[in-house]
């Protein structure tokens, strides 16, 4: 049996990770699509900001709704249905002809994305041994980099191409419908969480009981810390990364060159994940979060104020390295704050609060650009937000390295 466990763990990581990769592909393609349709549809910076923000509104609703449902009907079922929701809606969005229709579909896509991510991390957290749980969840998050790389490659070759009479960005969005077929494979191959099957079903609780438990005396401090941290991280991430191609264009680079440079920056995510996966079991969750978020904050300031291509590339690569390493630790850390009966609920609620930050991040960038603010000022705001998240981890967080989940 000891020999079978690693194979089971690796299969679980692979199956859940591919779903995670498809999520990232959709979000990554959106950042490039925003830059493309702003030209085709003549959008201003505020309208561009709303595309990212509506996506985050959907993610907030999805994280909360599907998080609580995962504690009622199981992690596997929710994982599968959220995958179908976002992929089908994303494929349909390729046929949108107005901004209003596109925004409605982005809300539905966001619901699927927002629900899938916390549920998948909860499922994996509950299915591996304590001594390697953090590393495995960070490696799960590393599939995000793979999805972004695929998105960058598709965007570089497909979006600028001439498929007359169909715009390249519509072809790119059609490709995001492919994960719907993967849901069939999940239905056949992915087991549900053993902790959910054995313990959560043994105690019948209402959704409202679960939500109240998250703020009960035993978990209130952890919940406060997680909500501050999630808001800070998601606010800054979506404010910065959804605007990366547009920032490059705003600094004087053409669309194709901007896509190429963002692809190079995206490659730096992989070593960020892998180093975080190694550090998280050696030095702990708090160490990784503080180190990588501080590195993110410093890189954001440099990137926002950069004027030369060399400084932009180096600071952009460091921004990707540190920020995505921190995301891996965040997804490992969050499910460890709660017991099995409310784990998906607690994780989903924290993610939902974070997605509220994701609403304001892109809107802030669009609004401030519209008022003539420099990128340096905007990225300094994200630096401060990240440092507030660091303070929450230091003063409110508890170390959960290799603790047994119950």
User: Which pLDDT band, with edges at 50, 70 and 90, does 1 fall under?
Assistant: very low
Owner of token pair 């952890």: 222
pLDDT average, residue stretch 322-332: 94
Owner of token pair 């609403």: 359
pLDDT average, residue stretch 161-165: 75
- Beta carbons within 8 Å of 198's beta carbon, 6+ residues apart: none
Considering only residues 232 and 124, tell me which one the structure prediction assigns the higher pLDDT. Answer: 232
Taking only the tens place, the pLDDT of each residue in 204-226 is: 778 899 999 999 999 999 999 99
Number of Cβ within 10 Å of residue 252's Cβ equals 10
Q: What is the pLDDT of residue 3?
A: 37
Taking only the tens place, the pLDDT of each residue in 335-350 is: 999 998 899 999 999 9
- Beta carbons within 8 Å of 143's beta carbon, 6+ residues apart: 17, 18, 20, 21, 24
Considering only residues 246 and 110, tell me which one the structure prediction assigns the higher pLDDT. Answer: 110
- Beta carbons within 8 Å of 337's beta carbon, 6+ residues apart: 219, 222, 223, 226, 346, 400
Q: What is the pLDDT of residue 28?
A: 82
Q: How many helices (H) and strands (E) does the chain have?
A: 17, 0
User: Which pLDDT band, with edges at 50, 70 and 90, does 6 fall under?
Assistant: very low
Q: What is the pLDDT of residue 197?
A: 65
Q: What is the pLDDT of residue 350?
A: 97
Q: What is the pLDDT of residue 207?
A: 87
Q: What residue spans of 306-342 are helical by DSSP H?
A: 309-333
User: Which pLDDT band, with edges at 50, 70 and 90, does 196 fall under?
Assistant: confident
pLDDT of residue 33 exceeding 60: yes
Residues in the chain: 406
* Closest CA relative to residue 339, chosen from 347, 328, 351, 349: 347
Kindly state the tokens that stand for 42: 């003549």
Chain centroid to CA 191: 23
User: Which pLDDT band, with edges at 50, 70 and 90, does 5 fall under?
Assistant: very low
Q: What is the pLDDT of residue 39?
A: 84
pLDDT cut 70: percent of the chain above it: 94
User: Which pLDDT band, with edges at 50, 70 and 90, does 7 fall under?
Assistant: very low
Q: What is the pLDDT of residue 302?
A: 94
pLDDT average, residue stretch 141-162: 84
Q: What is the pLDDT of residue 49?
A: 79
pLDDT of residue 190 exceeding 80: no
Is the alpha carbon torsion for 347, 352, 353, 357 positive or negative? positive
pLDDT cut 90: percent of the chain above it: 44
Q: What is the pLDDT of residue 218?
A: 95
Side-chain-facing half-sphere of 25: CA atoms under 13 Å: 25
Q: What is the pLDDT of residue 61?
A: 96
Report the alpha-carbon distance of residue 252 to residue 33 in Å, rounded. 18
**Segment among 171-180, 193-202, 285-294, 366-375 with least mean pLDDT:** 193-202
User: Which pLDDT band, with edges at 50, 70 and 90, does 166 fall under?
Assistant: confident
User: Which pLDDT band, with edges at 50, 70 and 90, does 157 fall under?
Assistant: confident
Considering only residues 126 and 330, tell me which one the structure prediction assigns the higher pLDDT. Answer: 330
Q: What average pLDDT does the chain have?
A: 87
**DSSP assignment letter at 320:** H
Q: Which residues of 1-21 are buried (b: 16+ CB within 10 A; e: fewer)?
A: eeeeeeeebeebbebbbbbbb
Chain centroid to CA 326: 11
Q: What is the pLDDT of residue 64?
A: 95
Considering only residues 121 and 249, tell me which one the structure prediction assigns the higher pLDDT. Answer: 121
Chain centroid to CA 34: 18
> Domains of the chain, with CATH numbers?
10-185+206-396 (1.20.1250.20)
Taking only the tens place, the pLDDT of each residue in 300-320 is: 999 989 888 888 889 989 999
């Amino acid at each position: 049996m000891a020999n079978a466990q690693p194979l089971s763990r690796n299969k679980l990581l692979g199956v859940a990770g591919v779903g995670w990769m498809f999520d990232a592909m959709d979000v990554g393609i959106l950042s490039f699509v925003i830059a493309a349709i702003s030209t085709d549809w003549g959008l201003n910076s505020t309208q561009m900001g709303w595309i990212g923000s509506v996506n985050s509104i959907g993610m907030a609703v999805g994280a909360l709704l599907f998080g609580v449902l995962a504690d009622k009907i199981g992690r596997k079922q929710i994982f599968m249905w959220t995958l179908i929701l976002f992929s089908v809606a994303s494929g349909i969005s390729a046929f949108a002809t107005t901004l209003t229709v596109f925004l409605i579909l982005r809300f539905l896509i966001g619901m699927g994305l927002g629900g899938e991510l916390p549920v998948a991390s909860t499922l994996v957290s509950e299915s591996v041994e304590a001594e390697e749980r953090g590393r495995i969840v960070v490696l799960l998050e590393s599939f995000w980099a793979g999805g972004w790389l695929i998105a960058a490659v598709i965007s570089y070759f497909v979006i600028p191409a001439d498929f007359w009479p169909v715009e390249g960005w519509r072809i790119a969005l059609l490709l995001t419908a492919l994960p719907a077929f993967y849901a069939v494979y999940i239905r056949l191959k992915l087991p549900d969480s053993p902790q959910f099957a054995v313990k959560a079903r043994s105690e019948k609780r209402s959704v409202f009981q679960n939500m109240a438990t998250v703020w009960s005396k035993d978990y209130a401090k952890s919940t406060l810390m997680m909500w501050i941290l999630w808001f800070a991280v998601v606010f800054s991430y979506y404010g910065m990364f959804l605007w990366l191609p547009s920032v490059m264009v705003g600094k004087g680079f053409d669309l194709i060159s901007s896509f190429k440079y963002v692809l190079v920056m995206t490659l730096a995510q992989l070593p960020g994940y892998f180093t975080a996966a190694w550090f998280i079991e050696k030095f702990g969750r708090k160490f990784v979060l503080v180190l990588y978020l501080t590195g993110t904050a410093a890189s954001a300031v440099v990137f926002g104020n950069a004027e030369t291509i060399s400084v932009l590339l180096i600071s952009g690569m460091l921004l990707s390295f540190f920020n995505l390493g921190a995301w891996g630790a965040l997804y490992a850390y969050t499910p460890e704050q709660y017991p099995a009966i409310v784990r998906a609920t607690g994780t989903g609620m924290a993610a939902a609060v974070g997605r509220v930050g994701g609403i304001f991040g892109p809107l802030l960038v669009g609004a401030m650009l519209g008022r003539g603010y420099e990128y340096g000022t905007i990225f300094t705001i994200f630096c401060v937000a990240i440092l507030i998240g660091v303070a929450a981890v230091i003063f409110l967080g508890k170390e959960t390295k290799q603790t047994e989940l119950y």
